[in-house]
Structure 1
Amino acid sequence: MASHPYQQYPQQHLQHPQHLQHPKHQPAVPISITICGDGGCGKSSITLRLVRSQWTSEYDPTIEDSYSVTRRIDGTTYHLSLTDTAGQEEYRGMWASSNLGADAFLLVYDITSRDSLDALQYFDDLIDMEAETRLDNAERARRAGVNPGRANTGSGSGSKTVPPVKIVAGNKCDLQESRQVSAALGLEWARKRGCGFMETSARLEVNIEETFALIVRRVVERRRLAEMGVLDNTEMNARGMTKPLTPLPADSESEKRAPGLRGPNLDGDHRVGRGQGGFWKKLRCW
């Protein structure tokens, strides 16, 4: 039987460190991830869900917070360094000067705000400029007889040789009644810019672990391509791009009101949440 286009990542590949025995001769592979997007779209909520399994309804604007977490994915242990950045416009000059050295970027928008999706263009443009700088570094390394994949040792902007991975996350997918950005529109925006795509809910813990597993897999693949000598960013994006979805959730009543969902789960309805119901399974993994 063919797999469902919205099939969830196998949970055995998303193991938490407390359930693992790490061989001493296999140190964790470091991956740095910067989380960016407009203010109030849920960047901190996504980060804290992953790191502490916590969620809060209080909005406290972030200037910049750093976290680290270990995950074992596809048989390998990874040390994820996460930077949760400011989304407010007054802090964007600071963002551009200090957050472009990451291996991957998670661009977060709020599905109830079209403006938050449009705001991602600012970050995407900066990331693409950083990608071009890294490709230039890779070409110089190649001419010097150094494998670009192995020369990717710097930690800051301008010192790396592997272009960063970009994943777009449409957050707050539990707020179907207030949706302004359809899943199809979010996916189209992401694909046009060479990004992977997910919809998430930090509140109901939908696609949090899966999104970061996707990021790790894309970073690993991009590093592998760099070691093979693939230096074209367009080709890298094409090889790692989200596959087309058939079918996508439609802009219909079925998308706006999920089966079993009575508002944003405020009335204690336990039928809706992680691992529950056909609708949420469809949101699992794009």
Structure 2
Amino acid sequence: MDENNRITITVCGDGGCGKSSITLRLVRSQWTHEYDPTIEDSYSVTRTIDGQSYFLMLTDTAGQEEYRGLWAASNLKSDAFLLVYDITNVNSLDALEYFADMIAIEEDTRIDSGQTPPVKIVAGNKCDLQGARQIKSPQGLEWARKRGCGFMETSAREMVNIEETFALLVRRVVEARRVAANGGVADNPTRTAALPPVNEKDGASSNQVPEKNKVQREALWKRLRCW
């Protein structure tokens, strides 16, 4: 397979937020309710996106604080990062700061050296557990936007937005590579090197929604939610 069609993805986040469940849903179409703390697991899977076949190499990393020091330098070399939090656990969103800070340093290093910066998407997992929700969709989206990340809500158990999230990661990596190859200039006016958060239904950028238009704002949140 063409090297350009190989994409490395690191899945990170706090322990128990569902990183392994999301990964296994994609790779094996399996879901498990049993929590088995991960130190680090690697998987590979092939997906056809927009008519093109891609070989995805995924690393499911440690979330527990005592294991974070084991993060290999190779993890930071990934093409994309999926930062996962649990919508029923406020602390899980706070825990993403650790990973976001490390990724930001790596991003600066790549930009300074003329390399393609990594793609980042935040996933609010367990969106099937509405009765236990502690983090609202706007909170997750705002956190992601402030850090230049895309945003999705997912459910590994109900298979909500799993394929869609990884397809979005692939599309953004492809776009980031294209922009880098063009010297940092998008070759299409509708594209942007900033890669802002998008809606999982139709790809509409969240910052394209007029802030003063209440109806459109409400429609955006309705589409962002997965229940």
1:204: how far off? Answer: 0.3
Matched, 1:85 2:58: no
Distance 2:3 2:63 in 1: 34
1:241: how far off? Answer: 3.6
Matched, 1:107 2:104: no
Q: After the TM superposition, which segments of 4 or more aligned residues of structure 1 sit over 4 Å from their partners?
A: none
Q: Is the 8 A contact 1:96 1:126 kept in 2?
A: no
Q: In the alignment, what sits opposite 1:71?
A: 47
Match of 1:236 among 188, 193, 218: 193
Residues 192-203 of structure 1 aligned to structure 2 (within 5 Å): 192-203=146-157
Cα 1:75–1:119, aligned 2, differ >3 Å: closer, same or farther?
Answer: same
Q: Is the 8 A contact 2:120 2:148 kept in 1?
A: yes
TM-score in terms of structure 1 length? 0.68
Residues 24-63 of structure 1 aligned to structure 2 (within 5 Å): 29-63=5-39
Cα 1:94–1:228, aligned 2, differ >3 Å: closer, same or farther?
Answer: same
Distance 1:95 1:112 in 2: 25
Distance 1:27 1:118 in 2: 36
Q: Residue by residue, what CA displacement relative to the aligned partner does 1:197-219 show, whole Å, maximum 9, x if unpaired? A: 00000000000000000000000
Q: Is the 8 A contact 2:40 2:62 kept in 1?
A: yes
Distance 1:30 1:83 in 2: 14
Q: Is the 8 A contact 2:86 2:125 kept in 1?
A: yes
Q: Is the 8 A contact 1:29 1:79 kept in 2?
A: yes
Percent of aligned pairs with the same residue?
A: 66
TM-score in terms of structure 2 length? 0.85
5+ long unaligned stretches in structure 2: 186-191, 199-204, 210-215
- SS for the counterpart of 1:35 is strand
Q: In the alignment, what sits opposite 2:101?
A: 125
1:248: how far off? Answer: 4.6
Distance 2:14 2:28 in 1: 22
Q: Is the 8 A contact 1:171 1:200 kept in 2?
A: yes
Q: In the alignment, what sits opposite 1:247?
A: 217
5+ long unaligned stretches in structure 1: 1-23, 139-160, 256-278
Letter aligned with residue 118 of structure 2: P
1:91: how far off? Answer: 1.1
Q: How many residues are matched?
A: 207
Residues 182-201 of structure 1 aligned to structure 2 (within 5 Å): 182-201=136-155
1:98: how far off? Answer: 3.9
